Amino acid sequence: MTNISDEQARRMTEAHLHMPQGVAENYRYWGEEQTVFVDHVQGCRLTDCDGKEYVDFRLGYGPIILGYRDSRVDAAVIKAITELGTISGFSTPMDVEVVKRVKSLCPNIDKMRFANSGTEAVMGALRTARGFTGRNRVVIVEGGFHGLTDEMMWKSDVEGWDASSGTTPDIIPFGAGIPASTRDLVDFIPLNDSEALTQLFSEKGDQIAAVLLEPIMGNCGSIAATPAWMQELRDTCTQHGSMLIIDEVKTGFRVAKGGAQELYGIHADLTTYAKAMGNGYPVACFGGRAEVMDVIGAGGGVVHGGTYTANLVALSAANATVDILANTDALATVERVGAAIRDVLGRVFTAAGIEHRFAGPAAMFGIHFGDNVPTNYRDWKSTDSDLYTAFAWQLIEHGVMLEPDSREPWFICESHRDVDLGWLEDVATKSMKIAMEAS
Ligand SMILES: Cc1ncc(COP(=O)(O)O)c(C=O)c1O
């Protein structure tokens, strides 16, 4: 962003006095001049503290599926907290009501438990898988992201990898403070790589508690597993007695009513949901086969709990959101509007002579500059992500908010139906022209 306002500089200086990096969590730091301070949000729009309005395709990393401040969801939450209360540390009738709603859309869930974030949901699912199998190792797919617990904070260093070296990328921690011992619990394979899958299971199959993946990688440009590879993965897990955990934190209640598993027709043993489940309210869950989930319990069983678990802010938001998604055409609108937006962008790229490919469903699509849809994270390296980043910064400058990193997809919500596509085409055309001149 250019022309930083005096106010922005003042806000940043003050924030540095009180928070590391001047932000409430690491991923919000975009640089001294670029870090966004939001005044308010509404529908698909965000207004920053300088009064500048953006059409938002980042949507807080994906939880907004209907629109910001959806009055139907907000009314349900206000009713719950004013008439019932927020928290008691006891069961409420709404617990089962929400589980039944989730089960009506997600036939892979027999039994379920709640959590407050995707990180917590993954933690619960992993512990359950370990409790059920009596094994410790977890297989992660390169480019996936599964929250901030220590063992999930290891990644394949594709950014620092020389693709022509003939070596595989190093596995590195996301940052400081991650005990090296947690590295020993995780193995990595590339998405869609049958050979790597077979080899890993032939070496360590009897130690693998679970394979944990996003079949449509919401943290890697929506690069998707092929249906054939997903079936192979399902069969391999079954054959070796390992749990298949599908992390639907981003895809759940977004890419289809029944999430990615509805699109693939593949059932996980355990699944995690969060984000779109509550349209921005902090609610999450994990669940799966009854036999597996029933290892949770007292007397030597798996421990799951927490003070804020299934609080009524979270549950009332999920109750209303899942009801709306189940009983209205909201997701059909998201799909239709997302496809129209993708068409606009495709026209802009074609007019500019840029080879491009889209990945993933219209509700959460990735853009890759190059002549192939990447099939895994290593492939992503051959796309022109620098051009994408330059284009994204220009879009932001011109009032379109998104993550300036092609690994983060474009998120669509029902409120995007109000977006003027002619305006978007003009802005994208202008932004691409400037990005290309600069590169
Ligand atoms: C697939 C996936 N799993 C887990 C998480 C962690 O969720 P949270 O940020 O709610 O802890 C994320 C966050 O983006 C995610 O995309």
- The CATH number of residue 428's host domain is 3.90.1150.10
User: Could you tell me if the CB of 250 is within 6 A of ligand 1?
Assistant: yes
304/336 same-domain check: no
Q: State the distance from the centre of ligand 1 to the C-alpha of 348, rounded, in angstroms.
A: 31
Indicate the residue among 327, 351, 384 that finishes a domain. 327
Q: What is the pLDDT of residue 439?
A: 80
Tokens standing for residue 387? 């051009």
226 burial via Cβ count (<10 Å: 0-12, 13-18, 19+): middle
CA angle in degrees (0–180, nearest 5) for 111-116-119: 90
Residues 259 and 375 in one domain: no
One domain for residues 230 and 260: yes
408 C-beta closer than 6 A to ligand 1: no
351 and 275 in one domain? no
Do 88 and 215 belong to one domain?
Answer: yes
E strands, 234-347, are 243-248, 270-273, 284-288
Domain membership of residue 129 (yes or no) is yes
Number of domains observed in the structure of the chain: 2
Residue 18 lies in a domain: no
Ligand 1 centroid–CA 3 distance in Å is 33
The string of DSSP letters for 260-291 reads HHHHHT---SEEEE-GGGGTTSS-EEEEE-HH
Task: Please indicate, yes or no, if residue 232 is contained in any of the structural domains.
Answer: yes
Q: What is the CA radius of gyration of the chain?
A: 22
In a domain, 393, yes or no: yes
What confidence tens digit (pLDDT) does each residue in 54-107 have?
999 999 999 999 999 999 999 999 999 999 999 999 999 999 999 999 999 998
Backbone dihedral angles phi then psi of residue 95, each to the nearest 5 degrees:
-55, -55
What SS3 class is residue 47?
A: strand
If asked whether residues 303 and 337 sit together in one domain, one would say: no
- Say yes or no: 153 and 290 in one domain: yes
Relative orientation angle of helices 312-327 and 330-351, to the nearest 10 degrees? 80
Q: Which residue has the CA at smallest separation from atom 9 of ligand 1?
A: 118
Q: What angle do CA 11, 40, 307 make, to 5 degrees?
A: 90
Low-confidence ranges of the chain (pLDDT < 50): 1-2
* Final residue before a domain boundary, out of 294, 327, 360: 327
Tell whether 376 is covered by a domain.
yes
Quote the tokens at residue 255.
Answer: 């890419």
Would you say residue 32 lies in a domain? no
Is the Cβ atom of 218 under 6 angstroms away from ligand 1? yes
Spatial separation of the C-alpha atoms in residues 137 and 39, rounded to whole Å: 44
48 within some domain: no
Q: Please indicate whether residue 149, judged by its CB atom, sits closer than 6 Å to ligand 1.
A: no
Task: Identify whether residues 275 and 372 lie together within a single domain.
Answer: no
Give which of 141, 149, 151 is closest to 183, Cα–Cα: 151
CATH number, domain containing residue 116? 3.40.640.10
Q: Is 288 in the same domain as 358?
A: no
Identify the residue whose tokens are 């995780």: 186
Closest ligand 1 atom to the C-alpha of 218?
16
> Ligand 1: which atom is nearest the Cα of residue 282?
10
Model pTM above 0.85: yes
Domain, as residue range, for 432? 329-409+417-438
**Does one domain contain both 397 and 248?**
no
Residue 122 CB–ligand 1 contact under 6 Å = yes
pLDDT number for residue 143: 98
Q: How many residues does this entry show for the chain? A: 439
Ligand 1 pocket check for 286: Cβ under 6 Å: no
Q: From the CA of 218, how far away is ligand 1's center (Å)?
A: 9
Q: Say how many Å lie between the CA of residue 121 and the centre of ligand 1.
A: 9
Domain end, chosen from 264, 295, 327, is at 327
- Rounded CA-CA distance 279/320 in Å is 9
CA dist 184 and 383 (Å) reads 31
**CB of 255 closer than 6 angstroms to any ligand 1 atom:** no
User: Does residue 342 share a domain with residue 278?
Assistant: no
CA 313/CA 315 separation, integer angstroms: 6
Asked if the structure places residue 49 within a domain, the reply is no
Q: Which residues pair with 217 in a beta bridge?
A: 223
Nearest to 270 by CA among 254, 253, 249, 255: 249
314 lies in the same domain as 334: no
